[in-house]
Amino acid sequence: MIFDVSVLGRTVKAEVKVRGDVYQVTIDGKPHTVDFRETGRDFASLLLDGRSFEAGLERKQGGFIVHLPVDNIEVALQEAARGSASAHKKATGPARVTAPMPGKIVRVLIEAGQEVAAGAGLIVMEAMKMENELRAPRAGRVQSVAAREGLAVETGALLVVIE
């Protein structure tokens, strides 16, 4: 999954890939290895490129406030717009919305037969302790919904089909 991440007035692209308990995060082309472990409610232990950090995580709309021993840092996250290749795909046939990474379905916002606009929220999924809203790639009618609240899904799992 690719995010636009804003921290301290700077916005960067971050690509996140999950491999077991370890996250491969590429920020502006530079790869980082992150081992994330919850140590309590709203607290985590991080190994970032071999360096250890303890942090408090305060969830807020659109991101987090990360509480470190020396500072509090506001982090805004937004799913990045798709690249031009997918933006120019012809909108014919069913559009399949799949899980971009392993996670848990938190909310299902639509039902089969419902008409949706392009960009409308379909599914809220929790991955890496963040809630991500998956949106309709184009306008259409929801043909089927395979996602159910509480369901754990793997990368690529079919969630919604829009015709």
Q: What is the pLDDT of residues 91-114, one digit of tens each?
A: 567 888 888 888 899 999 999 999
Q: What is the mean pLDDT of residues 32-60?
A: 87
Determine the pLDDT at residue 8. Answer: 82
Q: What are the chain's domains?
A: 2-79 (3.30.700.30), 93-162 (2.40.50.100)
Amino acid at 17: K
Determine the pLDDT at residue 112. Answer: 94
Determine the pLDDT at residue 82. Answer: 52
12-21 pLDDT, tens digit per residue, is 888 888 877 6
Of 4-8, 51-55, 90-94, 132-136, where does mean pLDDT reach its minimum?
A: 90-94
Determine the pLDDT at residue 118. Answer: 85
Angle (CA) 123-135-151 rounded to 5° is 20
Largest CA distance in the chain: 53
Confidence of residue 84 (pLDDT cuts 50, 70, 90): very low
Determine the pLDDT at residue 36. Answer: 83
- Mean pLDDT (the chain, rounded): 84
CB atoms closer than 10 angstroms to residue 161:
17
Tell me the helices (H) and strands (E) count for the chain, helix number first.
1, 16
